[in-house]
Amino acid sequence: MTDTGNLVPRRYQEEILVQAQKGNIIAALDTGSGKTLISRMLILWVSIQPSSKGKAIIFLVPRVTLVAQQAAFLADRTSLRVMQLYGALEMDLTDRKGWKKKFNSCDVFVMTPQIFLNLITHSLWRIDKVSLMVFDECHHARKSHPYNSIMREYFHVNPISRPKIFGMTASPIWNPKEPQTSLATLEANLDAKVIGVREHVDELKQHAPKPTEELWELLDIPWINIQPRYYSTYYHLGPYCASLFLYFELQIHFTRIRREYRPVDEDVDMEDASIIPNPIAAKTLPADFFDIEDIVSGYESFFVCPTNPLELPIAVPLEWCTPKLRELVNILLAYRSETFQAIIFVEQRQVAACLSKVLPYIPELTGVVRSAYLVGQGASNDGVSRTDLFQGDAVKLFREGKVNILIATSVAEEGLDFPACDVVVRYDPLQHMVGYVQSRGRARNKASTFIIMIQENDITQLARYKALQDAEPEVKQAYQKYMDNLMIDEPMDEASDQEDIDPMDIIERERFVVPSTGAILTYDNSLDLLGRLCSLIPRDIFTPVYKPKYTGSFEVLVELPAGLPLPPSDLGYYGPLKRTKKEAKRAAAFHAVKRLYELNVFDEYLLPITDSPDEDDVSGWKVDMKNMPNTMTVSVVDPWVLGPKLWLHYVLVDGRRVAGLITGTSLPCVNLRHFGLHLQTEPGKQLAFSVEQRHCMKEFTNLGIWYRITGSPHSDLPSLYIVPLTTDGRVDFKAIDILLLHPNGCVNWDIAPKDDIFVSNINEIGRLRKLVCFRHDISTASKPPPGSREDGFDTYYNFFVYKWTRKKRYALIPHDGPMLETIILPRCDFGAYNIYPSRDEDVREIIIPNGGLIPLEYSRWIPMSADVLHTFELLPVLCRRITDLYRIQRARMSLSLPSVYEDVLIEALTLPCVAANYSNQRLETLGDAVLELCTTVHLYNKYPTRHEGQLTKLRKQVISNRYLLARAKRIGLEQFITSEILSVFKWRYVLSSPEDRYSTTPTRRRLRDYPRRSLQDCMEALLGASFHTGGIPMALQMGTAMDLEFGGVVPWSLRYVPQCVTGSIPSLFSDLQIELGYNFKSNRIILEALTHPSFASPVDGPSYQRLEFLGDALLDLVVVKYLYDKFPNATSHQLAFPRTKAICAPALAWLAVRKLHLYKVLLVNNVELSAAIEPYIPLLESTSAAEIVNKGWRYDPPKVVSDIFESVMGAVLIDSGYNYELAAAVVEHAMEDVLSLLSPSVAKDPVSELTEWAGAFGCTKLAFSKVLKEGTTVRYGISILVHDHVVVGPIVSASIGVAKFVAAERALAVLRDSSSNKHLSCFCECSRATDVTPTVSAVSTSASVVNDDFLEVSEAEEVHNLLVTTGNGYSWSSLLIDD
């Protein structure tokens, strides 16, 4: 690539552009002539064409290192939106939404060809949606290169819809002996004509000059193993460099050996917390190893600087270098200058690395050379650079001038943009024309020198160089000949470039296109598709990556791993007879993929089935999360309305009618026990009332609300009326009128009732008292007795003046006169009631201290009966209960919910923000496990050909919060959720507007705000409620009503007919059946449950992995239900924590070993796995259940041990005909020893305990650091740091998780020890030590805490809010860093 800083095109570049606009061309121009600038101009021209609308421009480069370079150039020098793509294996090909967004948001895509091939294979994009394809270094378009595979698909597109092709290369002829054939093949493959500059040749020569060439000596013996590489380095660079290579090469092998073996006399300065040594590394090194290592380490002083490992410790004299290297030193000295830069091309990586390291330490070059090296690292990391003294990207450092010598392999030959160099040295022999032309192109200054080093008298190498030199004019002549015949369309023969594939095989190739998507299956991509499928099969660390097995020569059999849950007949495929072995292998893979697509193993995009598109749920319903706020405003159903029709409901307390409740809805009947009272309502009776009567009932109701609920005047329009009743059950309007005549009370005590008199004082508006008696023996002038609340004042008068006088209000108090002895009646503004009688201790009435004496004068009696006042006291509870019942009844009708218990259904739809003594959280914990099991059973049976990994991903999707939220919105669950707080201090049962009183279509809804997450919680809580009421059968009904992936309402035992072959169970499993207390009917199912993948085969049957998937969900539900029943007062958090203790890997492994002895019947064919399990058997057998529950984190047995416990339980569920109750009984029996020890107070793990304790202390600088220790062995450990001070560690273990727990346990002990110099207070300055405030339980009450002082409304509201707010305790957090 030329200097593209000047964007003014030259005439020869415009000449090429004109040809590119006319048709498909391959621009054959020397390196440095500005081909990329031509491509930029062509891209701009194509982008403005009308036919390009909605299409992408694809710029393909053969190497990863070129992606960023070309993308940066196009992004900087065009206004187009450019995206770079590389790393094909890291691209998520299942993210169709993401890819669509990429293509819609960008114009030009710079990528490697394999990525684009994957995109068109899986129909993420199509070639007919591309306007231009640019092929950089297009000479690669031959044989099976991805360039060629892309072009094969290009030829299947209708010619009208094909994109324009523009190829760029400096070396279109691969074979100089047959230039015509090379050009013809390239043209045919790219559907383009090779052209060069014809009219402006002189200008091209001026701007792409050919450097002067000189000859130098060369030595090269390329070997492939360590010894050949050592000798190659020796002959190329000399003994010191060869020894340097050998030293570091051996260090690499020593490191690998240390990881595979563990020395007998290991001496590590890290504390080992392992209970069992690393099973994989538990092998003994031979003694000779240490002798060899000692010998090598004796040379460390020659190659490793103790202060900086990147430097060499000694100078390297020329006497230690080969003559060839000495000549190279002379060359560099001859061309050195202040701005001197050079590239040295070598063939082997170790030569590049050693040369780069040694050059700065040759005395003659000291201070002259700053070197780095650039080598390729394979297909996945091609062109990744490394440096020695200079850290960073070698190419970038060279461009910036921070290094002046770049030693590179062929990775730097093509495309990379380097500054013009003073000298380019070809240190190794030339092998082909491309290498010759490309490496020479790095010397692009007019004064640049290109040096080829060839050994003196090496006739062969000299002849090869001469041949390449002589062939170049012939190549250019070939260009000219083809340009002279551009209009002649002659047939081209591809055979010469396809020497590894027979032409007839090419003709006979099949091609399959998925009709629904356009995804393409070809012989070229079938091998990759099959390999990708097998690599995704789940496996443990003892099982190698699964691969397809190919056998045969010209007719190949491909065998798939038994880990794919397919019938044996679908695990092997024969391909047709072919003429070459490679083609036979491709053919077999093609037919295998096509058949697997028919079996739904590959989806319609030819991707392995994993999960559904992330924007849709499994049924294709769109989930719009963007327009759904975190806090939703929802219209919830609400019965409290008025209208032309009104219903009268009698309110009964202990079986006696006390008042009437009137509203515009026929309300559900209440039957509730509340504080020892039996509270009931009767069915509504429709009545008609005049406008005047309605007004009277409204005013009466507002006064009652004021007296007994709010304590302040209430003027809003109530949505219900509470009325007194006559003896015959009619509304007592006479009693209503009396109250309305004296709304603030009556001063005529002569007409007051004899019993149950309620009074208020003018100085205490809003406070109601019950009269005990008249106190004529005391007056306001009397002196209060000692010890009374009024003690300290001369008279009662002075006390009341002090008590009731406010800044803006004077107290009205008589100087003398009798007193009233009263009882203060607290306001009843809390709507809590208890749906669980066993939890009465959580709902209590607060005892209110009373000051009962008030002056008679300025006191009034309230003309309202005790029964009606009592009804107003109960009204918040009554309204809450009726609202709850109304909502669940509407939910049952609207959603077709099963017959779940009323109170349980209310609990499931009540949010925690209500602050009641119940909420949906406990049921949500239970429902989460129900959801997982019901979904698991359905997916397990619906997809019998999907392995555990695919099923797990699918389950994750259909039990995710996103999925549940979508389902909740789809069925309209949000309208039935209760979120209103219990307090009605501000009365909320009111009408929105006066017109609502007579609306013929009253809206029985209210707007409420609550978190979006509440929807998914309620979905799970409803499942928990149904399971609590009627087990799995009712849970299936509930899940189906909510449109979940449960497979319908048909019970499992009827839906899934057992397909297991019954027969006698081998005696091998007799003891297991006795321990389980269950006899298997199917021999096959128990064999599958105990078969490790290493033992599985198409003949012997599948492994336990699918059954493990099933058993995992079964155990979860059994354990959660056990805890739910055993601890009815436990919170959801208190249920979740012991659950994790029971179903963690150590606990299940302990049960597998000690309880069921599954290691005796495990079918495994893996020596390393057996050796890893063996030491844990005696350890787990000797461990108690209490130890495993409290300190199970200390154990890390191989995962297979816990997996087979889960698989056996899954096998029981299937074998029992999906009888959950029976399977749950078996699980509880097997887990009895662990379950009996679980409780909400079970010990926490050390990591949780440490972080919570540090958080309570106020420390936010706690960190867990992963430390690498290299000595005679390489091991990882955990250190714990507080404010960057190491408190404990490094602690090492065979398991990094165990090390973390042990480190946390020891750190907690040290930090808590006040006598230690590592006590937390010695480091932490975040805050002062703080005691954790105890969490205050939510208290439901029917009264507000008040004293005998009168409060203003604002003051009373503040006190009240403090009372009803749920106590949450303090929440502490700490910064946890896991390096």
Active-site amino acid positions: 1112, 1206
Q: What share of the chain is helix, strand, coil (3-state, %, to 5)?
A: 45, 15, 40
Which residues have CB under 8 Å from 1290's CB, separation 6+? 270, 271, 1267, 1269, 1277, 1278, 1279
Q: What angle do CA 1071, 1077, 1079 make, to 5 degrees?
A: 75
Measuring CA to CA, how many Å separate 492 from each of 171, 273, 496? 19, 71, 10
Q: Can you tell me whether residue 1369 is helix, strand or coil?
A: coil
Measuring CA to CA, how many Å separate 1089 from each of 146, 266, 1206, 1232, 1366? 44, 40, 9, 21, 49
CA distance 1198 to 256: 23
Of the candidates 352, 353, 247, 340, the one whose C-alpha atom is nearest the C-alpha of residue 295 is 247
- Which residues make beta-bridge pairs with 775? 819
CA distance 172 to 108: 25
Amino acid in the structure at residue 97: K
CA distance 1011 to 1175: 51
CA distance 1 to 416: 7
Q: What angle do CA 848, 854, 855 make, to 5 degrees?
A: 175
Which residues have CB under 8 Å from 1324's CB, separation 6+? 1257, 1258, 1259, 1261, 1282, 1283
CA distance 301 to 894: 83
**What kind and span of H or E run contains 345?**
strand 342-345
Estimate the crossing angle of helix 64-77 against helix 35-47, to 10 degrees.
Answer: 60
CA distance 867 to 727: 13
Q: Where are the alpha helices (DSSP H) in 791-901?
A: 796-804, 866-895
Decide if 532 contacts 606 (C-beta within 8 A). Answer: no
Q: Can you tell me whether residue 1365 is helix, strand or coil?
A: coil
Q: Can you tell me whether residue 151 is helix, strand or coil?
A: helix
Residue 974 neighbours by CB distance under 10 Å: 20
Distance of CA 1152 to the CA centre of its chain: 31
Measuring CA to CA, how many Å separate 487 from each of 23, 166, 458, 726? 11, 18, 46, 111
Decide if 171 contacts 472 (C-beta within 8 A). Answer: no
CA distance 998 to 689: 11
E strands, 941-1020, in order: 1005-1011
Of the candidates 582, 479, 464, 435, the one whose C-alpha atom is nearest the C-alpha of residue 182 is 479
Q: Where are the alpha helices (DSSP H) in 168-286?
A: 179-190, 201-207, 226-237, 239-260
Q: Can you tell me whether residue 451 is helix, strand or coil?
A: strand
Residue 853 in tokens: 């004496």
Measuring CA to CA, how many Å separate 1197 from each of 115, 1165, 1291, 1354? 41, 18, 19, 63
Residue 52 neighbours by CB distance under 10 Å: 18
Residue 709 is classified by DSSP as I
Which residues have CB under 8 Å from 73's CB, separation 6+? 1, 4, 36, 40, 417
Decide if 1153 contacts 1159 (C-beta within 8 A). Answer: yes
Residue 214 is classified by DSSP as E
Of the candidates 413, 366, 411, 368, the one whose C-alpha atom is nearest the C-alpha of residue 393 is 411
